[in-house]
Structure 1
Amino acid sequence: MITFESLGIEEGLLQSLETIGFVTPTPIQEQAIPVLLQGTKDFVGLAQTGTGKTAAFGLPLIQLIDKSQRIPQALIICPTRELCLQITTDLEKFAGKSKVGITAVYGGTSITLQIRDLKRGTHVVVATPGRLIDLIERKAINLEDINYVVLDEADEMLNMGFKEDIEFILKETVNRHSMWLFSATMPPEIRQVSKRFMDKPAEISVGKMNSTNSNIDHQYVSTQHVNRYETLKRIIDFNPGIYGIIFTRTKADAQNITEQLVREGYDIDALHGDLTQAQRDKVMGRFREKSLQLLIATDVAARGIDVKDITHVINYELPDDTEVYTHRSGRTGRAGKSGVSTSIVTPREVYRLRQIEKLVNNKFHKMDIPSGKDVCRKQFFHFIDKMLKADISHGEYETYLPVLKEKFEGVEKEEILQRVAALEFDRFLKYYENAADLNQRNDRERDAKGPRERQTGKPFARNGNYQRLFVNLGTKDGFYKASFLQFILDMSGLKKDVLGNIDMKEMNSWVEIDPAAGKKMIQAMDGKNYRGRKIRMNDAATGGGGGRRK
């Protein structure tokens, strides 16, 4: 049997691993650690989130650094504050009692305190790109002595527009011995970074590219667009022990759905781009403590979230990008546990689901949307099981028994059970007694209340013609199609069904839109700033934005 000791991990770290319960290396750890312990070999590790990548690079880093020199020797770059803090916590656990300094630097909190921490001396710096560049420009950190650079979740960082930031940082680490890149996928941009900054890297792939965790059951339900919200409620109610994340395309949807569910008594909160860092931390804290049963999030807001024991991921709508689906579903089914990823689709969206199915090499199982009676039955038995498992060893319940016996004297046991059920399930029974069947039985049937759709899955504008808008944002600004779609919808407050095709180029893009919504889109976008650059948006036919495509 392969052990951490046989991989070359030193005694002090082995004791820490034993303390935190790490016994057998995962596949990525098994293959990466012997290579990384050499300290001089560039490395590319391809593995899905949740496979143990932090230990794969963290253990070699802690072992390789010179602990007598309290200067930054290792740099770990990651996309989000949450992941930055998570990596820091994990490294501190691995380091145990050894005197290894680990400092996290990230945005959304006091840079002055982080500068103070760096001045005290440290060995390992875990950083988000933006804050690290700020520290470099303030000359608050010196990267000349960095020997090891780790890019974690590299594909996520490029998707979020950090390509230029990463290149800037890598140019500052001129004396590095090796660079280690970890990613779930290997898009062309990652290959470019690898070729430009790495020397014949060893490459290890654990699992198939674009594949999803085999512990995840991929499901979908088909319903009309108008029933999407009600379907979401049915799925939640049919899984009374659910602890999950609901994904939406836009922050407006995330907030609106959250407000509706909170009004109806659900323990849920939203995570989206409008939250301050303090608000975001508060929401995540409540979710990790399980005082929230559900978290609803946009893809961008959920970057880097790693929470244990997620039972369900619900896709309120399918993402436009297949890789985004992989990241969504990967939030569940971790550490050998099983999970469920459920997608709510309309009949016309099934073709897109089949495309995702092929690309992630996983079969999606069609499920019926539970009936009202099914939901009540499931909730009832869940309550009964909870009642039977209730711990009555604490508390002096015996003192109340005489009074209880007197109160219930002459009342049959069956009636007592009925009364208990009535108290617990009155709301469910009233709500679901005349519940409609939400299942879309005919996959060819069009959504009668939604816009007509072509075979391509794109909606027609109401008059059958689109207005074409030009905007001076493109892939060079760090957008990919799904993130750009979410950006323009968030900026304008419009719904996706007013849009047609989006044609993205390096420097600019063209957006097809219902003419009735075109003016609102232009007013919301034109003249605003994105990363220090003024956005220019106008009618492509009349505004000098490139006219028709050749």
Structure 2
Amino acid sequence: MQSFETLGLSGELVQAVRKLGFEQPTPVQLKAIPVLLEGNQDVVALAQTGTGKTAAFGLPLIDLIDDFDRTTQALVLAPTRELCLQITNDFGNFSKSVKQLNIVPVYGGASIAEQIRRVKKGAQIIVATPGRLMDLLSRKVINLADIRFVVLDEADEMLNMGFKEDIDHILSHTPDEKNVWLFSATMPREVRNIANTYMNNPAELTVGEKNQSNRNIEHQYMVMDEKDRYAALKRVVDINLDIFGVIFCRTKVDTQRVAEHLIKDGYNADALHGDLTQQQRDRVMRNFKSKALQLLVATDVAARGIDVSNITHVIHMNLPDEIEFYTHRSGRTARAGKTGISIALITRKEVAKIKQIEKVIQAKFEKKQVPTGIEVCEKRVLNIVRRLREVHLAEEEIASFLPSVYEALNDLSKEEIIKRFTSLEFNHFLDYYRDAPDLNRSDKAERHEREAGGGSGRYVTGARLFINLGKMDGLDAGKLLALVCDRANISRDHIGKIDLKGAYSFVEVDKSHADLVKDNLHGFEFKGRIVRIEVTDSKSESSSKKKSFGGKSKGRDRRRW
């Protein structure tokens, strides 16, 4: 088995790596380090996130840098502030007992004056995000004329984030005689174009196959109705007792909404998206890295560059628009040789997209059932039993209290004490999941609902309400949902399909809450219009409403959770 000593690194650097606890190089390090140490070859390295790429280019870079030369010799470009700081920190740990290097991180959201001061002291290695580096180049603070090495880390992410023109501009300020090391998890056309334009006959190193997913990740999917995504998410979290995960949403609005719902429902969660200030973003990431947060709800862009160890689950509230994004999302877990689980919450229409992702990442998804309420409760009860058996007994400390405890429980049998203790810990889960519906979707269920004239999933036995408000009143499905829930003071879980038309709409509501909605909205004035609500359970009634408002409407069904 190969070790760091056999890769050609200097003895001092090998010792430094060992002190950090690294014994065996990862596959990407085994392939990349000997080639990069030669210092005369452009390299394209393809490997998944979390496989040790920073050390793969960082260790040879530190050995090749002349620490007596104060000019800028190496530039590392990274897509995000978090990754920029992580690389800088790793470089510092690798080199602190080997060479006295001035490694300067350059990124937005921090004092540009302080970064300029550190660069002017003589930065041998600059680790930068493209935007802030462009700013310093325009101010003529940074001179890249003597650059010997350029590293493009997470190249595919930088291009996905729209940094193509910035990268072109930055590389135009570097000399022709330099080595370019490009590291990427995937090889889309845009990354290939960068290699063809700026690299000279590069060596291509691939760990696994191109675009292949990390083999330590277990890929799963669950199928449900659109409106049940959030309820399904809660069940996934509730049944995985030690979950420490990232939840991905497609938009900033969804990210904030999911995080707010989780917090309101008692979960230890927070949001990470582009509308946060840098101070807010730093606070969220600091809490997540220290595990003060259990769940981080994020957009694709905001989560790029996150390197947090021991993430157990990645949950996709929505599949990404680009398949490559799935690779980056799932790569947040199973880092540094650990295992992890990636779970996609999808509707029946999205099953085909799962098949497409399987082909690209060359890994199979396992279809899983959304946990039932009974399964969640059973898991929670058994966890209470496990904790009871494993609890540390501080016998000396509690000895003086036990006689009073024994006396207080003297009239209860052992079985009764167990029941009461379990209920004390467990009642809130039992109350929530009592009579909880099955959220799973299947072809059989779909046909059954269609034959029953339903199609609304969990609300087949609910009430369909006609309301004389629609698009012409400035409403979309989300605004109408908020109006109904706020006026009736009910949870969104009790609302089913919303069918929004021009001058009117149909809203499905749990039958037990239909009168509550009607009582609170009927006669209410909205933007000068008196709201009228009627129960219309049958298709014939729905059709008559359409005719009374001038024929068919082309409004599309919108399902919300």
TM range (shorter): 0.7 to 0.9
Residue of structure 2 equivalent to 1:88:
88
Which residue does the alignment assign to 2:106? 105
1:214 maps to 2:221: no
**8 Å contact from structure 2 (residues 51, 337) kept in 1:** no
Partner of 2:455: 448
Q: 1:186 to 1:266 in 2, by over 3 A?
A: same
Aligned to 1:258: 259
Amino acid of the residue matched to residue 153 of structure 2? D
1:91-143 Cα deviation digits (max 9, x unpaired): 11111323122111100111111111212222211100000111111122111
Match of 1:142 in 2: 143
CA contact (8 A) 1:144 1:175 kept: no
Closer, same or farther: CA 116–515 of 1 in aligned 2, 3 Å: farther
Q: 1:493/1:242 Cα in 2 relative to 1: closer, same or farther (>3 Å)?
A: farther
- Pairs within 5 Å for 1:113-132: 113-132=114-133
Offset at 1:46? Answer: 0.7
How many angstroms apart in 2 are the aligned matches of 1:210 and 1:303? 17
Shift of 1:435: 0.6
Letter in 1 for 2:419: Q
Partner of 2:29: 29
Letter in 2 for 1:448: G
Letter in 1 for 2:183: F
Q: Which residue pairs with 2:317 in the alignment?
A: 316
Cα 1:395/1:43, change in 2 over 3 Å: farther
| Aligned ranges 1:501-512 → 2 under 5 Å | none
Structure 1 residue 400 displacement after superposition: 2.7
**Conserved in 2, the CA contact under 8 Å of 1:83 and 1:304?**
yes
1:529 matched residue in structure 2 = none
Question: 1:29/1:356 Cα in 2 relative to 1: closer, same or farther (>3 Å)?
Answer: same
Cα separation, partners in 2 of 1:394 and 1:332, compared to 1, 3 Å: farther
Q: Secondary structure at 1:301's aligned position in 2?
A: helix
1:21–1:242 distance in 2 versus 1, CA, 3 Å: same
Residue correspondence of structure 1 range 145-544 to structure 2 within 5 A = 145-174=146-175, 176-392=177-393, 396-442=397-443, 448-449=455-456
Cα separation, partners in 2 of 1:402 and 1:371, compared to 1, 3 Å: same
Provide the rounded CA distance (Å) in 2 between the counterparts of 1:181 and 1:391. Answer: 51
CA distance in 2, matches of 1:287, 1:385: 27
Provide runs of 4+ in structure 1 moved above 6 Å.
Answer: 492-495
| Structure 2 residue matching 1:9: 3-state secondary structure | coil
Amino-acid identity (%): 53
Distance 2:395 2:107 in 1: 45
Give me the CA root mean square deviation. Answer: 2.2
The residue number in structure 2 matching 1:467 is none
For 1:108 and 1:272, locate their aligned partners in 2 and report how far apart those are by CA, in whole Å. 15
Whether the 8 Å contact between 2:40 and 2:179 is mirrored in structure 1 is yes
- In 2, are the aligned partners of 1:88 and 1:104 still within 8 Å (CA)? yes
Q: 1:67 to 1:414 in 2, by over 3 A?
A: same
Per the TM alignment, residue 175 of structure 1 is displaced from its structure 2 partner at its CA by 5.6
**Counterparts of 2:19 and 2:300 in 1: how far apart (Å)?**
35
| Corresponding letter in the other structure for 1:11 | G
1:300–1:412 distance in 2 versus 1, CA, 3 Å? same
- Report the CA distance between 1:493 and its aligned residue: 9.7
Q: Which amino acid aligns with 2:15?
A: Q
1:343 Cα shift? 0.9
Report which stretch shifted further, 337-346 or 405-414: 405-414
Cα separation, partners in 2 of 1:391 and 1:166, compared to 1, 3 Å: farther
Structure 1: distance between partners of 2:80 and 2:356: 29
1:209 and 1:515 map into 2 onto residues whose CA distance is 47
Which secondary structure state, in structure 1, belongs to the residue aligned with residue 70 of structure 2? coil
Give the 3 Å change call, closer, same or farther, for CA 262–13 of structure 1 in structure 2.
same
Q: Matched residues in 2 for 1:344 and 1:325: separation?
A: 13
Q: Distance in 1 between matches of 2:357 and 2:397?
A: 56
Stretches of structure 1 lacking an aligned partner (at least 5 in a row): 451-491, 496-513, 517-550
Instruction: Check 1:394–1:308 CA distance in 2 against 1; reply closer, same or farther (3 A cut).
Output: farther
SS at 1:300's partner residue? Answer: helix
Query: What displacement does 1:394 show?
Result: 10
Inter-partner Cα distance in structure 2 for 1:120 and 1:382: 57
Number of aligned positions between the proteins: 458
Q: CA deviation at 1:154?
A: 0.4
> Hey, what does 1:62 align to over in structure 2?
62
TM superposition score normalised by structure 1: 0.80
Amino acid at match of 1:426: N
Distance of 1:494 and 1:21 partners within structure 2: 54
Separation in 1 of the partners of 2:380 and 2:104? 47
The 8 Å contact of residues 32 and 57 in structure 1, kept in 2 or not, is answered as yes
Contact in 2 for aligned 1:149/1:176 (Cα 8 Å): no
Q: Mark the CA change 1:13 to 1:374 in structure 2 (over 3 Å): closer, same or farther.
A: same
CA drift at 1:224 = 1.2
Q: Find the structure with the greater CA-based Rg.
A: 2
**Aligned match of 1:4:** 4
Tell me the residue number matched to 1:52. 52
Residue 537 of structure 1 corresponds to none
| TM-score, length of structure 2 as denominator length | 0.78
Are the structure 2 counterparts of residues 421 and 90 from structure 1 closer, same or farther at C-alpha, using a change threshold of 3 Å?
same
Cα 1:399–1:117 shift into 2, 3 Å? farther
Partner residue in 2 for 1:74: 74
In the alignment, the residues of structure 2 paired with residue 71 and residue 420 of structure 1 have an alpha-carbon distance, to the nearest angstrom, of: 68
Deviation of the 1:33 alpha carbon:
0.6
> Cα deviations across residues 502-539 of structure 1 (Å, max 9, x unaligned)?
xxxxxxxxxxxx997xxxxxxxxxxxxxxxxxxxxxxx
